[in-house]
Structure 1
Amino acid sequence: MGKAASRSSALQARAIATLWRVLAGRRLATLWRLARLVGPLVHRFSRREREVTAANLAAVYPDRGADERRRLARQSLTHSAATMLEIGFAWQGAPERVEASILAVHGRELLDEARAEGRGVIVLAPHFGNWEVLNFWLSSHFPFTAMYEPPKIAELDAVTRAGRERMGASLVPTNPRGVAALLKALKRSEAIGILPDQEPDWGSGVFAPFFGRLAYTATLLPKLVARTQARVVTGVARRLPGRGFEIHFLPADERVYAADEAESATGVNACVEAAIALDPAQYQWEYKRYRKVIQEQEGHPEHRRFRIY
């Protein structure tokens, strides 16, 4: 990276970090009002976000009318804007304020029962609602480990790490060393977090149905379950616009426990679908979930394989 690019990156990081720090003290009602202003602007002026969201919604909800899908797309981008605006609140807001914003926790007994049985808990945390608030709650109440990939803007790494680790979460890298740390945490009957809706590298997943269409899905989960007998739950922080959040822990689809990787991946995607059903507008539809299906059709080769040693 050249000096000019490095300076630009540093300035960008400083501006973003300052914005988060300023927004950390704002009321959730204020942040939601800002999101209602920003979301429509993203829909209007960000072609990439608008088109990917529209394509995903057309793929998963083909029976809904075009007008209904457009409304859902605008609502989804507003919720995505809210998540970005709430990062300062989740990472830097006074812990008692963040805790007070969590108005209800549904399904906590799923975690408590597993730990009482001496079993670890794998929390599947899709990009729904505000996953940073979910991380805050989990790391406040349980020994919690999650994989972490540094942000694209390297200068934001320290801010991101501090925000996610401040309540005690342990962040581990997305490599075999990180997987080993997840295994150790599960064997200690602790909780870990897995992102179930990001496409893995070639060789690290299988194609499995997601809303009836094939999506490349990670196969890390069945490997972890086979080695630890952990319980799997889905966890989300559902936004109550302008008021706070409700944490939901949902029982996993039983197929996640299958030894067959394709069947387990199908169960993982079913878990994500169940979370989305809570409020489809709160899912991050601007992610290209079906990208590798297109690459497969175009004959892209496999890359490195992700293994547990």
Structure 2
Amino acid sequence: MKDNWQARLIMRLWQVLSKRPPRTLWRLASRFEPVYSLIGVRERRITRMNLRQAFPEVSEKARRQQIHDSLQHSIATMMELGFAWQGDPEAVEKSIVEVHGRELLDEARAEGRGVIVLAPHFGNWEILNFWLSSHFPFTAMYEPPKISALDPVIRHGRERMGAQLVPTTSRGVAALLKALKRSEAIGILPDQVPDWGSGEFAEFFGYPAYTATLLPRLVSRTDARVVTGVARRREDRRGFDIHFLKADERVYAREDEALSARGVNASVEAAIALDAMQYQWEYKRYRRTPGQRDNVPGWRERRFYKQGRSGRKL
């Protein structure tokens, strides 16, 4: 009952916001940020910890501004979901002002190669999905949401421009391989913490982060090109710029998953450098740590995010 009520409320909100342009949604996010900072204690704490890890030289005054900016971008992303999934396709396409690095995809496909797009949680990745599936045969993994009633809406929103969604299972991996062998594009979330046994620890802003090793397995079985793709909000907040960047060369280390994972994280860091506060810093990227006790899930996670790397309470 509770999930159904939440789903109806969320779907109605998406429907209303789908008719609003990005600039208006940004203004709404700005007004809601102070409230979100008060009620989102967990998100604010994790954001502070992650920013302190990534930018240790920043003063506390500047850090407070970073936290404000980061949370506002995250709110904007949530508000833009209706626009990306249900907005008029012409309006969404028009909101994408510039596309940088498209030649990386075009050249790979002209050579008969597939393209693996590393799409970190930066800017609005749903706008990136919209553009990719509008211009290329595009396949991505999909995991249904916790609120099952939202599944049809989200799935339709992501598939409406032609994207093929596949499950996060071995069957889904097989579908990704087939798409690459057809010289198509696929999307991978490079900064999502994988299950134990599906990753390697690799430095991310100077601290070990458990990183998925699906990429080297795909690279080893195809001749795919790897690029990083993001949809960055423009400075005037009236739309987005799509950026495709060459991935760090270490991602092609087929026989060394740990080295490839370092390349993945370096590629994500390069994308974040476009506008660091557009990254989703409230995500627990370091929730798995070296030496973590498997029989007590999250024990180091709680310690890390409550006290910080130095042991100081945040």
Aligned to 1:287: 283
Report 1:237-276 matches (<5 A).
237-240=231-234, 241-259=236-254, 260-276=256-272
Structure 1 runs (4+) deviating above 3 angstroms are: none
- Does structure 2 conserve the Cα–Cα contact (< 8 Å) formed by 1:25 and 1:93? yes
RMSD over aligned CA atoms reads: 1.2
Distance, in Å, in 1 between the alignment partners of 2:23 and 2:209 is 36
Report the counterpart of residue 307 of structure 1 in structure 2.
Answer: none
The aligned counterpart of 1:118 is 112
Aligned to 1:86, the other structure's residue is in SS state helix
Amino acid at match of 2:88: A
CA distance in 2, matches of 1:146, 1:124: 11
SS at match of 1:129: coil
Shifted more, 21-30 versus 137-146: the winner is 21-30
Q: Which segments of 5 or more consecutive residues in structure 1 lack a partner in the other structure?
A: 1-6, 304-309
Residue 163 of structure 1 pairs with residue 157 of structure 2: yes
Q: What fraction of aligned residue pairs are identical, expressed as a percent? A: 69
Query: Residue in 1 aligned with 2:202?
Result: 208
> What are the equivalent positions in structure 2 for 1:1-309 lying under 5 Å apart?
7-240=1-234, 241-259=236-254, 260-293=256-289, 296-300=290-294
Paired with 1:28 and 1:167, the residues of 2 have a C-alpha distance of: 19
Q: CA–CA distance in 2 between the matches of 1:40 and 1:214?
A: 32
Match for 2:239: what amino acid?
A: G
| CA–CA distance in structure 2, aligned partners of residues 172 and 189 of structure 1 | 17
Decide whether the 8 Å contact of 1:130 with 1:238 is kept in 2. Answer: yes
Q: State the TM-score, normalized to the length of structure 2.
A: 0.92
Q: Gaps (5+ residues) in structure 2?
A: 298-314
Q: Report the alpha carbon displacement of residue 44 of structure 1 after superposing the two structures with TM.
A: 2.5
The aligned amino acid for 1:140 is S
- Sort the Cα spacing of 1:302 and 1:252 in 2 relative to 1 into closer, same or farther, 3 A: farther
Alignment partner, residue 306 of structure 1 = none
Deviation at 1:27, TM superposition (A): 2.1
Match of 1:107, as an amino acid? G
**Does the 8 Å contact 1:255/1:266 carry over to 2?**
yes
Instruction: Give, in angstroms, the shift of residue 298 of structure 1.
Output: 3.8
1:187-221 Cα shifts (integer Å, max 9, x gaps): 00000000000000000000000011100000000
Q: CA deviation at 1:301?
A: 5.5
TM value normalised by structure 1: 0.94
